[in-house]
Chains A and B, each alone.
Chain A
Amino acid sequence: MATNNSPSLQATCSINGVLASSITYVTSVQFSEAIKIITGNISACNSQMLFCNLWENLHFQIPTKKLADCPTCGKLTFPYLSIDKQRKSRTICGKNAIQLYLENINSQFLEQQAKRASGNIKRKSPFHIEMEFYVDGIAHSLILFHDGRVTIDGTIDEQRARHILAETIGY
């Protein structure tokens, strides 16, 4: 089901900006927890999930517990870190372009993207959309397929490609 919370519809940090103090706040808490673990004081660690919204002055904690059958914290199999989950990027033959795979996209992926960036569309079919964007002053073509494949033209560097995706379609 497409929802308003779909990753493809969310603005990213690099689009909306980040309140610098929120980074300091989070890293300060995480660092303190890490020191407790390293020094063997695990009982002093916070076992709850901490929520804070510095802008609206909201702070609360959510109790959490390990689920025995959770593949990550219960069974420690870490499936989302496994290579099977990380479909590899590949360069495109004969072009300065790279193809990435977007995970967890829904069946309305193309439609949502077409709506979101209608002014950037160069060509579309029921199976793909070709879009053009300027990122950091450089023109990049993006070709999106409804199975989550996306080709980014103008780079073969995966990190740069992911930056372009974040800046343009919010992935």
Chain B
Amino acid sequence: MMIYLDNAATSYPKPDVFYTGATQVLSHPYGNPNRGGHAGSVNSEQLVSRVKQKLATLINAESHEHIATCYNTSDALNLVINGLCKRFKPEHIVTSIFEHNSVLRPLYHLKNTHKFSLHILKPNRNNWKLDVESTLKGLGNQSNKPILIILSHVANSVGTVQDIANFGKICRRYNAYLVIDGAQSIGHIALNVLKSSVDVLVFPGHKGLLGPTGLGFIYLNERVKQSNILCQRQGGDGVDSQSVLPSLAFPQSFEVGTSNIHGLALLELSLDWLNDNSYQPALRALSQYLYQRLASISQLTIYSPMLDESNVGILLCNLGTLDSNVVASILDSEYGISVRAGIHCAPLAHQWLGTIESNQGALRISLGPFNTKNEIDKLYMALAELASYS
């Protein structure tokens, strides 16, 4: 029996209802939403609205009309970063070493065509927090162009959680737009976008929301929604079809082509389960247990801090000087334990940690709502056994 500890990559297993309800939802007559008036098309339109409504409730968005569907979080980040840069032409963009390549690569690519200064924040070594305010104060933004701040809520490498509400307040003071990558947080920890003054939030369907792969979501608050950001992708959206010019009306403007209707139908099953099951306190308790158990292996270097109770179950570590890929391979083949090795598409975080220089990468253990203490005990025993070869 596989012990799956790679939930930060994608969640597994899903709630039972995801599997038991799959046949029923997949055999339901879903047509193409916004592409006709027949029953199948209407079914799909209603499904899209229902799922968006449930997501809007989850993140406390203004309404479901502030949410667009796309293919995944990287897709969402590409659309948002390119759209915001073209629309606002910021002279400064602030991000951090914690960011995934789905933020860093679009930004570095944009530097070829847009002129802006890129500021990459490093966290405080003691509390792992990012000091957004000092950076914004230092920039002393004199232009009327807003500063763009793009940060992850939870770092996919080490699992550290940032205080988004605090960032939101600061951004409003300094004419900055706050874009949050919620890939590792949404579902696991609450985020109230209105209270936290988040301008843009992107998140996936298959991680903390326990849904299928192939779905990403973009939330735009009212001021960004009204700013008519042009989507990189153009095509049919079922609206204003007599015009050959691109649509600017969000969310349709970001939803060209047929949406992943079956994916949304499956996601709805998971969202309903999430609504009825509050797994988060148990996940946090299990995270603490994981941390304490592994901390007792003297050869294990744990990079993730266990500073507060908001940890979402991500622990980054290395066993002595062993290559993390070796440890992951052995855990997989000899113990049936799935974890992720390498640098987790977060090159700057690993540079900061020194795990690129050491050529080790690191081992990421990431929990989900269905992991157990027994599985963590088995991981502990496997690592303790391997420690003698480290």
Contact = CB atoms under 8 A, between A and B. Distances in A.
A140 interface: no
Interface in B353-379: 356, 359, 361
B370 to A, nearest CB: 25
Interface in A97-147: 97, 99, 123-125, 127-128, 130, 143, 145-147
Interface residues of A, number: 18
Interface stretch (B112-120, B163-171, B189-197, B329-337): B329-337
Interface in A126-171: 127-128, 130, 143, 145-147, 149, 151
Contacts of A23: none
Given A93-B341, A94-B342, A94-B350, A145 B329 contact: yes
Contacts, number: 49
Contact of A125 (B333, B340, B389): B389
Contact of B342 (A95, A123, A147): A95
A147 B338 CA distance: 16
B351 to A, nearest CB: 11
Contacts of B329: 128, 145, 149, 151
Which of A95, A147, A149: most chain B CB closer than 10 A? A95
Interface in A28-62: none
A73 interface: no
B323 interface: yes
A92 interface: yes
Interface residues of B, number: 20
B334 A127 contact: yes
A93 B361 contact: yes
B226 to A, nearest CB: 41
Given A94-B347, A123-B389, A130 B326 contact: yes
B341 to A, nearest CB: 7
Contact of A151 (B325, B347, B361): B325
Contacts of A145: 329-330, 333
B361 A95 contact: yes
B64 interface: no
B5 interface: no
Nearest to A148: B333
Contacts of A97: 325
B147 interface: no
Contacts of B343: 93-94
A161 to B, nearest CB: 15
B66 interface: no
Interface centre among B342, B345, B386 (most CB of A within 10 A): B342
A121 B178 CA distance: 52
Nearest to A96: B359
B156 to A, nearest CB: 13
A143 B345 CA distance: 23
14 contacts: A92-B325, A94-B342, A95-B342, A95-B361, A99-B325, A125-B389, A128-B329, A128-B330, A143-B325, A145-B329, A145-B330, A145-B333, A149-B329, A151-B329
Given A93-B344, A151-B326, 6 more contacts: A94-B344, A94-B347, A95-B325, A125-B386, A143-B326, A151-B329
